[in-house]
Structure 1
Amino acid sequence: MRLLALLLFPFLLAAQDNLCEVSGSVVNALTGEPIRHAQVTLRRIDTAPGATSSVATDSSGNFAATLEPGTYRISADHTGFIPAQLGARGPSKPSPPLVLTAGRKTTGQRINLYPQGVISGRIVDEDGEPVPNVDVQVSRLQYMAGRKQLSRSNSRMTNDLGEYRIFGLSPGRYYLNAVYRSDPTLAGEGQYVSTYYPRTPDPAAAAPLEIVPGSQLGNIDVTLVRIRTVTVKGRVISESGGGDIHMILSASNPLGAANENGRGAAVLPDGGFEFRNVIPGSYQLIAIQSAPGKAYSSRIPLQVGAGNIEGVVLTLHAPLNIAGEIKVEGETTENLSRTRIGLQPFDPGNIVVGPMPDLALKPDRTFLLPDLSAEHYRIVVNNLPDGFYVKSIRSAEVNVQLAGLDLTAGASSPLEIVLSPNAGALTGTVVDPRTQKPVTGGTVVLVPQDKERRTRESFYRTASTDLGGQYTFKNLIPGDYKAFCWDDVPYGSWMDPDFMTSQESRGTAISIPERTPQSLQLTLLTEQ
């Protein structure tokens, strides 16, 4: 037995030499005080699937772990704090990975946790009486296809005293609204409606609440707004006959208020439907039909005023089949078997029912998009070979690459998608002007300068810088761009004309020709 241990000893030493150690501390970012019993997670990201391990900090806020060599992301979490990653520039911010080398000890790694934000208050009626069981939501503005939309971050129900307390909030600007569930039997009477702080049913008029690390915003009270609601009645006509039909009334709110995303109504055997307690405003009226193995939809816009509406008629079109083919500009022997054709809603906020195809090409480079709802779509071409880009998409000689495939009026002509093998390319490095060092994990954005292309997200390109501050773009559509790399900016804000008004002059112009790779060195754009 002793001889066996002696024989194994060199191998045990070699195994230990192949491991690495990492240690550090977790502290309160505001006070510098150590945080004991914090959970530290170490996730390997250079293998798939990546191994994950966790350790807890001791009474002094310190942690240590022995790991296989590799590239890791290290994060920490503790009750009352916002989870954060090692090396992040702030709460909920990305961070560069940590590379651990065999046989080496990496020490002094400090993870800063910021205290959570809290918003609390009461929800009352016009007489100041508490209202229980109200869904109090906090939302933040985000960008979807270049449009600002409210996205719910957290919510809590009021108790019997009308009180709420929403915790775990990261720093940022929030909008609070109280969602009251109205009584559908009281149509035409004054109804409490979803009310934004301080007291408005219009999200565009809501007052923002600023949360900084450790904020405790109390007495954020909301008095519910009562509005006289109306009834909407109508009839749906189905072109395809059988199948269950359901109606949805979806608010066309430019901010995409979470509580107004949609409400449903049943359809009677004669096609009749009724919505009660409808707040005046702009809506999309949507009919959805379900049959075995199929579901599809149609819609019309609807403007609701101060009075009841009757006689609305919506025709539910039968599902459509759209054929198409792909052509390649010039001669090529490139294999397109991995290329796929798909559809997405033209308006990202729309509810579209039915298949959203993602199909491979047939050997002759044709395709068929089956059983489509009569809706408005954006055509997506994925998995192109390197060096290729989509040059045009046409239906009956009309370029639908920008305008989208609009099927709301019925059938469409076959699609012709033209690919070019002459895509552009761009590489470069981003440097932080404050330190003159390469920027790791920076987001580089190419903004098209063609006015029409700036309205479509697919014409923008983004890339992240690596550990050496380098970025790479392949398969670019040739044309004129401006390149940006911001210090900290919400994703998609570069599609917002209001945001770009102050940023346009900070970009670096670059013209991308066909086939000839370009190089561009950028400076990180910090806050002005």
Structure 2
Amino acid sequence: MRIRLLTAAALLGTAAPIAGQENQVEPPKTGSVAGVVIDEKSGDRVAKAVIILRRDEQRTVPSGNVSGGRNLYSTGSLFPRTCTEVPGEIGEITGADGKFTLRDVDPGTYLLAVERDGYVIARGQTQTVKVQAGQTTSDVKVKLLRTGAISGRILDADGDPISGVNVVLSAVRARKSARSGTGYATTNDRGEYRVFHIAPGEYRVSATYTPRGRHDGVRMQRPVRADATSGREAYPTVYYPGSMATSHAAVVTVEAGAELAGIDLQLVRAHGVRVRGRITAPSGSSPAPLFQMVALVPIGQRDPPGQTYDFLIRDPNGEFEFTDVLPGTYRLQVEAGGFNELNRMSARRTLEVGDSDLEGIQLTSGQPRSLSGRVIAPEGRKLPPGLIVVLGSREAGDTQGGGMAQVGADGAFTISQVAPGEYDVVVASTTGGENDAYIHAIRMGDTDALVEGVHVGEGQVSPLDIVLRPNGGAAECTVKDDKGEPVPGANIRSRRTRRDSGRPLYSANAGHELMGRARS
């Protein structure tokens, strides 16, 4: 019996803590965020709102071709619409009381994004939330506003309802949010349309109709009639209440939760012309491939942009024809080969379309090229961080460039998949900060690319040498609209007034900062 008691005592002694020792509690490694979502106008709690915490980190600038890029954020959404989990993002849906609590959040700074059908974030501003380990960031209040809608009918030039008309709603003032400030709708068989999920604000309404879309690939014959415009049915963009100029368009104010009906428009029939030509293959190569897509893209300062004309080449001669083309400045471009880089062919040129047909246009397609080079820092200095080199179009108002690339610490860069064409070189910084360097010279072999630009065509492309010099000047400006209100996100360009009058040398937008400029 004594042995059993000793054994039991020994077991108890093993399990008991040693005097002077206590269980150590590990400190918490995460925090939490709690708050409520309300309707700013009524003060009511908003249920079923999706709350997302996203890391507030700067994204790097990708190298490669940037033309035709796709926005990662869909209209009305403040976070990517993807089907996969994004590392560092946590979400929750508010209950009937509009409250939310996000737990087990790693310490750091986050952007608080919200999405709810029929609502937008008030004033388009996202919130920044700082999370600390072991603490709850409480009393976070997110204010939403109800969205509105605009509806109406579109009639053709004869007063009949017409289907397939694109109606565009453009914000008078850009908003600092993921929303683009633009809404779209297409008319039904009764000529009716409805644009919904509209953030409160001021807008212009326009209608654009493309009748040729119904007869894609069909070469329509012109009827024999006496009038000069027969068989040339073209419709320019019309702005509410009935103008073809943006400056004369009425401003429609959408209040929170408003339903505006009766915003009707009637199209205007205009004189269009024919643009016809042929796409040829590079010299010494096989015939031009079939199924090339040729497009006429309007360029210039248009809001919204004018009509784009498309044509799919189906014959080995490479012939194309656009009908009912309205006067204006266009970029004629061709793409072939799809995603197969070995077979990809492209080309572009600028066309001025007037009141007469354009015949016999020839455009030679070629394979995209890689453009390499280096940025040379001022003597005794290092290159500032975050530099990018951008190939921009030499045509004013043409926003499709040739590509962009980050500059390495050694000054080297490579822009891949550059389509044949004429470009200007722009150097910008993505990090900001003080820097007085400016572009002194850009050499491309024996070419002064600062003045003459960059030509990409057949054959090898010579590397670029971009030379920076110190003690450049600085230009500060504020962009305002016709009512004196600041315009966020505007693109800024400075033009030379001497050697190369009219050529853009410096450029910036909301995401980039200009390099310094030469003093003059």
> What TM-score bracket applies, with the shorter chain setting the length?
0.5 to 0.7
Measured in 2, the distance between the counterparts of 1:161 and 1:368 equals 53
- The C-alpha deviation readout for 1:223-257, integer Å capped at 9, x for no partner, is 22222433233345555243325532222342164
Pick the aligned partner of 2:233 from 184, 191, 196. 191
Larger strand percent? 1
Partner of 2:95: 58
The match for 2:225 is none
- Is 1:34–2:45 an aligned residue pair? yes
Give the one of 440, 443, 457 matched to 1:394: 443
Quote how far apart the aligned CAs of 1:80 are. 1.4
Residue identity in the other structure for 2:130: V
For 2:319 and 2:173, the matched residues in 1 are separated by: 38
- The CA deviation at 1:390 is 4.4
Structure 1 unmatched ranges of 5 or more = 85-89, 144-150, 427-442, 465-472, 482-528
Please name the residue that 1:93 is paired with: 125
CA distance in 1, matches of 2:464, 2:184: 45
Q: Does 1:72 align with 2:110?
A: yes
Instruction: Indicate the SS of the match to 1:260.
Output: coil
Alignment of 1:63-142 (within 5 A): 63-68=100-105, 69-82=107-120, 84=121, 90-95=122-127, 97-140=128-171
Q: How does 1:6-17 map to 2 (within 5 A)?
A: 14-15=26-27, 17=28
Preserved CA contact (<8 Å) 1:285 1:302: no
- Give the secondary-structure state (helix, strand or coil) at the position aligned to 2:123: coil
Shift of 1:221: 0.9
**Secondary structure of 1:189's aligned partner:** coil
- What residue is the counterpart of 1:173 in the other structure? 202
Equivalent position of 1:490 in the other structure: none
Alignment of structure 1 residues 492-507 onto 2, 5 Å? none
Q: How does 1:426-437 map to 2 (within 5 A)?
A: none
Shift in alpha-carbon separation, 1:446–1:65, aligned structure 2, 3 A: same
* Alpha-carbon distance, 1:131 to partner: 2.2
Q: Which residue, out of 319, 325, 339, partners 1:278?
A: 325
Q: Call closer, same or farther: CA 1:78–1:239 in 2, change over 3 Å.
A: closer
Query: How many angstroms apart in 2 are the aligned matches of 1:23 and 1:360?
Result: 42
Q: Name the structure 2 match of 1:379.
A: 425
The equivalences for 1:406-417 within 5 A come to 406=455, 415-417=464-466
Checking the alignment, whether the CA contact within 8 Å between 2:54 and 2:111 is kept in structure 1 is: yes
Q: What's the secondary structure of 1:477's corresponding residue?
A: coil
- Equivalent runs, 1:250-329 vs 2, <5 Å: 250-255=297-302, 257-258=304-305, 260-266=307-313, 268-288=315-335, 292-305=342-355, 307=356, 309-316=357-364, 327=376, 329=378
SS at 2:168 equivalent? strand
Q: In the superposition, relative to structure 1, how do residues 133 and 55 fare at CA in structure 2: closer, same or farther (>3 Å)?
A: same
Q: Distance in 1 between matches of 2:191 and 2:404?
A: 47
Looking at structure 1, the residues matched to 164 and 496 of structure 2 have their Cα atoms a distance apart, in angstroms, of 48
> What amino acid is aligned across from residue 182 of structure 1 in structure 2?
P
Using CA pairs under 8 Å that are at least 6 residues apart, name the structure with larger relative contact order, 1 or 2: 2
The 8 Å contact of residues 296 and 373 in structure 1, kept in 2 or not, is answered as yes
Distance 2:358 2:30 in 1: 74
Q: Residue type matched to 2:343 in 1? A: G
Q: Indicate whether 1:477 and 2:516 are aligned.
A: yes
Does the 8 Å contact 1:448/1:454 carry over to 2? no
C-alpha change, 1:164 and 1:289, in structure 2 (3 Å) is closer
CA deviation map 1:86-108 (0-9, x unaligned): xxxx432344x221223333332
In structure 2, distance between residues paired with 1:47 and 1:278: 43
- Distance (Å, rounded) in 1 between the aligned partners of 2:201 and 2:96: 31
The 8 Å contact of residues 137 and 152 in structure 1, kept in 2 or not, is answered as no
Q: 1:202 to 1:285 in 2, by over 3 A?
A: farther
Larger CA Rg, structure 1 vs 2: 2
- Aligned-pair distance for 1:377? 1.2
Distance 1:27 1:400, change over 3 A: same
- Fraction of identical pairs, as percent: 22
Could you give the per-residue CA deviations for residues 438-480 of structure 1, whole angstroms, max 9, x where no partner exists?
Answer: xxxxx9999999866998585558789xxxxxxxx9x963767
Question: What's 1:330 paired with?
Answer: 379
Write the letter of the residue equivalent to 2:167. Answer: V
* 1:119 positional shift: 0.9
SS in 2 for 1:249: strand
Residue 111 of structure 1 and its aligned partner are, at CA, apart by 0.8
State the match for 1:43 in structure 2: 54
Question: Offset at 1:275?
Answer: 1.4
CA contact (8 A) 2:428 2:515 kept: no
Secondary structure, in 3 states, of the residue corresponding to 1:91? helix
Instruction: Give me the TM-score of the superposition, normalised by structure 1.
Output: 0.64
> Which secondary structure does the structure 2 equivalent of 1:220 belong to?
coil
Of the three residues 262, 277, 287, the one matched with 1:234 is 277
**1:229/1:158 CA distance change after superposition, 3 Å:** same
Structure-1 separation of matches of 2:114 and 2:413: 49
The DSSP-based 3-state class of the residue aligned with 2:124 is: coil
Amino acid at match of 2:242: R
Give the secondary-structure state (helix, strand or coil) at the position aligned to 2:269. strand
Cα gap change, 1:28/1:325 in structure 2, threshold over 3 Å: closer, same or farther? closer
1:154 is the counterpart of 2:183? yes
Deviations 1:120-172 (CA, angstroms, capped at 9, x unpaired): 111223454332343322234689xxxxxxx7822223233322211111233
Whether the 8 Å CA contact 1:237–1:313 is kept in 2: the answer is: no
On the 8 A contact 1:126/1:224 being kept in 2, the answer is yes
| Contact 2:206-2:238 within 8 A present in 1 as well | yes
* Count of residue pairs the alignment pairs up: 431
Distance change in 2, residues 1:454/1:29 (3 Å): farther
Q: 1:56 to 1:446 in 2, by over 3 A?
A: closer
| 2:259 paired with 1:216 | yes
- What is the match of residue 418 of structure 1? 467
The CA distance in 1 between the partners of 2:33 and 2:414, in whole Å, is 54
1:31: Cα distance to partner? 1.7
Using the alignment, how far apart are the partners of 2:445 and 2:200 within structure 1?
51
